Structure 1
């Protein structure tokens, strides 16, 4: 079993690189099947969020899977190599546990990543790329993450991405209650932000989404109105705060659209938080006057609030994780000897049947049963001891000493003084 993980995250790669290797939710299952059918991996699961793109694989040659990632996104391998981390076996297990527990997140202890990992596992199951090894890995991952979150204070004093967005908005506007807020998208991240902003009772809330029905569902929860993405050019200027997070592969808000909105607003400030990867807002928008544009990476400083209070829990969490890693590696090692045990038993069974058939033939001829049984037991003994005896006679030097030790341990032999 060749378990390994590789990818990039907010610690190793800037947003401009992360968005190039992000996977669209709609295309995830096809990507997984392509990875396995091309022979780059026997099993695979892909975790793709705003902060990371990671692949967990059971593959004989990790390099083939990394090559596949670059080729799938039409990128030269050299463009992503400087940002990649590759984690074999034990390191992959520990990384999976730490990610699910929130120890590797931009927001230390944040709980959303656990749900995102569970979604990645569901997608792999649906694509048929989650085999025995990865199923066991993630099953254990979720168990360890539960222990970390229930037995430590890793989630205490948590400042979420949504809370950070509100804090940033309050730096620009004295009171959110006097502003109009626009949410673009209707996924989990937008829902979290909508709840936080709605708690500040803004003057007006609008939800824009590709499908009007989903926008209406969220809008009803936060006492807002719903529009479609096609309404954005006309509606944008009416809002002071914009939070966007969609799965679009292309920008939703271009420089031209924002420029027109600013002109209509007579250059009143426009605060935009883009939590999407790939980005929903063209990077050039940040160059416009009167626009305060923040990306996922820009949130980093704000979410450090409360970090010190959670650092003491990290050591406790690492102890739980290390114990879980040891248990999982022991399980993997025990599984790796199964084929050898099966082959050994098969050979012993063939020897047993051979001697039994010989004994039955002799009994059928009327031979003395006692002599037949003695011959059968001698035959079995000789066959069982032939391989180790022959091997022992063939080894020399240091190998002989090591082999002798194995033989003594295997057959519980007492060394003669």
Structure 2
């Protein structure tokens, strides 16, 4: 969560100088995540210099003691603390001095210790973004909730897309049948229309020609379904009648 939050505040962690205060497992784990982003500098401050040197060797950083904080804090943009100290080791005054040296360039600070390593008043300073372990836990939970919501939304989107795709595939499979049906209707229309034109050219009564045209076209279009229904097997007749009623949107008599 600390690395993710730092990535949102700073455009590139690779341009920042990071200070770790403490040398326990939490610091080691957090340093591993930060090191993967190749920050400009990694520094490790600890009560015993030997342990700080061990971490510095592993992560190619600089070892410091806690006494160095007063002079070195200002040189770092991101500070992560997690010691076993019973009282804060970074106070408001120390941070204020560092900010003056930095000409009030902002600092991002993560206090992962319980009890706290950084005085709570530090969070009230204008140029400091201070997050405690409780804050990070909340952010992590919110991130998990957001991911779960995203998963749910993705499932809905995928389901809808699959439905649309299958509908499209179904339509694609029906294209030849639909085209053949339209072609058949078009042939019937053209044949009936041409015959009507010939009758009109001969001088037949237009109203009678149109009446005959409509009757003939209706008969041609309904011939295939009525023939199929009347010549269907008895066991298929009910299903075929139901399908024709649905296709032609007609109500079947009770």
Look up the SS of the partner of 2:68 in the other structure: helix
How many Å apart are 1:210 and its aligned residue?
0.1
Q: Where in structure 2 are the equivalents of 1:152-167 lying within 5 Å?
A: 164-167=1-4
| Structure-2 residue corresponding to 1:251 | 88
Larger Rg: 2
User: Which segments of 5 or more consecutive residues in structure 2 lack a partner in the other structure?
Assistant: 149-254
The residue number in structure 2 matching 1:137 is none
Structure 1: gaps of 5 or more residues: 1-163, 312-417
CA displacement 1:58-84 (0-9 Å, x = unmatched)? xxxxxxxxxxxxxxxxxxxxxxxxxxx
Q: Measured at CA, do residues 267 and 305 of structure 1 come closer, stay the same or move farther in structure 2, by a change above 3 Å?
A: same
Q: Which residue of 1 aligns with 2:240?
A: none
> How many Å apart are 1:195 and its aligned residue?
0.3
* 1:314-348, Cα deviation, whole Å (9 max, x unpaired): xxxxxxxxxxxxxxxxxxxxxxxxxxxxxxxxxxx
State the SS of the aligned residue for 1:246: coil
1:226 maps to what in 2? 63
Structure 1 distance, partners of 2:12, 2:3, is 11
Hey, what's the Cα distance between the residues in 1 that align with 2:147 and 2:15? 34
Aligned residue number for residue 171 of structure 1: 8
Structure number with higher relative contact order (C-alpha < 8 Å, ≥ 6 residues apart): 1
Q: Alignment partner of 1:268: what SS?
A: coil
Cα distance in 2 between the residues matched to 1:182 and 1:248: 17
Greater helix fraction, Structure 1 or Structure 2 = 2
Equivalent in 2, 12, 34 of residue 197 of structure 1: 34
Match of 2:160 in 1: none
Structure 1 Cα separation of the partners of residues 91 and 39 of structure 2: 25
Whole-Å separation in 2 of the counterparts to 1:301 and 1:236: 27
TM-score normalized by structure 1? 0.34
Matches within 5 A, 1:6-85: none
After superposition, the CA RMSD in angstroms is 1.7
Q: Work out the number of aligned pairs and report it.
A: 148
| Partner Cα separation in structure 1 for residue 75 and residue 130 of structure 2 | 17
